[in-house]
Amino acid sequence: MMTTILFVMIATGLGSVLRYIIMQNWKTRANYANGVFVVNAVGSFLLGMLISIPFSHELALYLETGFLGGLTTFSSMMTEGIDQDNRTQKVLYFAIQMGGGVLFFYLGLFVSTALG
C-alpha cells in the first residue's frame, strides 16, 4: 500500500512538472488556446488512449491518477474561466475547455482502438 502511494506521488509530481513546463512555454494572448487548454487536451487524449489498454491496477493508478492527474488542471481552468471579462466570454471559455476535453478524450479512445 505505501509503495503504491509513493509511486502515485512520484507520477503526480512528474505530471505537475510537465504541466508547469508546458504552461510556461505556451504563452499566448488568446484566452481559449492557452497552456491550460493544452495540458487538459493532452491529458484527455492520453486518458482516452490509456483506458482501452489492459493495465494492472497499480500501473493504471500511476499513469491515470498520478501522472495525468498531475498534468491536467481543473482549478486553473476554473480560475481562468471566472476571470473572463463578461458572461459571454465565460460561457465560451468553459464550453471550449470542457468540449475540447471530451472531444480529445474520444479522439484518444478512437486512436487507441484503431491502433490496437
Contact (CB, 8 A) for 7 and 57 = no
Q: How confident is the model at residue 10 (pLDDT cuts 50, 70, 90)?
A: very high
Query: In percent, how much of the chain has pLDDT > 90?
Result: 79
Does 79 appear as a known binding residue?
no
Does 72 appear as a known binding residue?
yes
CA angle, 47 then 107 then 110, to 5°: 90
Instruction: Name residues whose C-beta falls within 8 Å of residue 78's C-beta, 6 or more positions apart in sequence.
Output: none
User: pLDDT tens, 72-93?
Assistant: 999 989 998 999 989 999 999 9
- What are the distances in angstroms from CA 61 to CA 2, 64, 104? 13, 5, 21
Q: Can you give the three-state secondary structure of 18-64, one letter per residue?
A: HHHHHHHHCCCCCCCCCHHHHHHHHHHHHHHHHCCCCCCHHHHHHHH
Assess whether pLDDT exceeds 70 at residue 30: no
Containing structural domain, residue 15: 2-115
- Counting the structural domains of the chain, the total is 1
Q: How far is CA 34 from the centre of its chain?
A: 13
The SS3 assignment for 72 reads coil
